[in-house]
Structure 1
Amino acid sequence: MKLLLDTCVWGGVRTDLVAAGHDVIWTGDWSEDPGDEEILAIAYNERRILVTLDKDFGELAIVRGIPHSGILRLVNFSSKQQSMVCLRVLTLYGNELASGAIVTAELGRVRIRPPNDP
């Protein structure tokens, strides 16, 4: 799966996802932060699922209608937990994410907003 990790996601997550066979870019490697809208556009243009801790991306996608290729938002997980949660969500909900869903993973629950859900 092609993924774009936001800077706020622990950089070690990339190592674990790559080891699991995913194609991963981490914005923390970029020389400067282009801003949320540009990050979302890059993910969309490259058909990458955006992984973030930031709820602003969901608002850009839902409220402003900015196109995306799926968003996974991690809520209240430690750096070490982020890899495990990403791998689990990608295994269980990868098809939904690949079809453009917004998936929010929290302790004890996962919420899925299908693409084009009003």
Structure 2
Amino acid sequence: MRFLVDRCAGRRLALWLREQGHDVREALEVQPDPGDQALLQWAVSEQRILITIDSDFGTLVYLRGQSHCGLIRLPDVPARRRIALMARLIELYPQELQTGAVFTVGTDRVRISQAPTER
């Protein structure tokens, strides 16, 4: 799968995803931080699922109708826990990940929805 990892989601998560064989880009590649809307546009331009901790992306997708190729909002937990949660998503929801679903992940639950998209 193709992912764009936001700075707040962490470098360790990005490295782990690469070790699993995924195609990963990191927001850290852009200096200075381009902002949320630009990150979503970058993810769309490269057909990547955006991984973040930031709740502002939900506003962009749901309220402003920003185009996306999938969004995963992980909880603000230690990197080891974020990696475990991401591993579980990949294992349990590969189809939803590949079809642009929006995931809101808590420490003990996952909400999956199909937000509007302009693809």
TM-score, length-scaled by structure 1? 0.92
The offset of 1:4, in angstroms, is 0.2
Say how many residue pairs are matched. 117
After the TM superposition, list the runs of 4 or more consecutive aligned residues in structure 1 that deviate by more than 3 angstroms.
Answer: none
Separation of aligned partners in 2, 1:22 and 1:9: 16
Separation of aligned partners in 1, 2:5 and 2:47: 13
Separation of aligned partners in 2, 1:106 and 1:61: 19
Aligned-residue sequence identity (percent) comes to 37
Within-5 A mapping of 1:13-92: 13-92=13-92
Structure 1 gaps, min length 5: none
**Deviates most, 92-101 or 6-15:** 92-101
Q: Which residue type is aligned with residue 19 of structure 2?
A: A
Q: Which residue type is aligned with residue 9 of structure 1?
A: A
CA RMSD of aligned residues (A): 1.5
Structure 2 gaps, min length 5: none
Separation of aligned partners in 2, 1:87 and 1:32: 30
Residue matched to 2:105: 105
Q: For residues 43-79 of structure 1, what are the alpha-carbon distances to aligned partners after superposition, in whole Å with 9 as ceiling and x for unaligned?
A: 0111000000001111100000000000000013212
Asked whether the 8 Å contact 1:76–1:106 carries over to 2, the reply is no
- SS of the aligned residue for 2:9 comes to coil
Asked whether the 8 Å contact 1:99–1:115 carries over to 2, the reply is no
TM-score, length-scaled by structure 2? 0.91
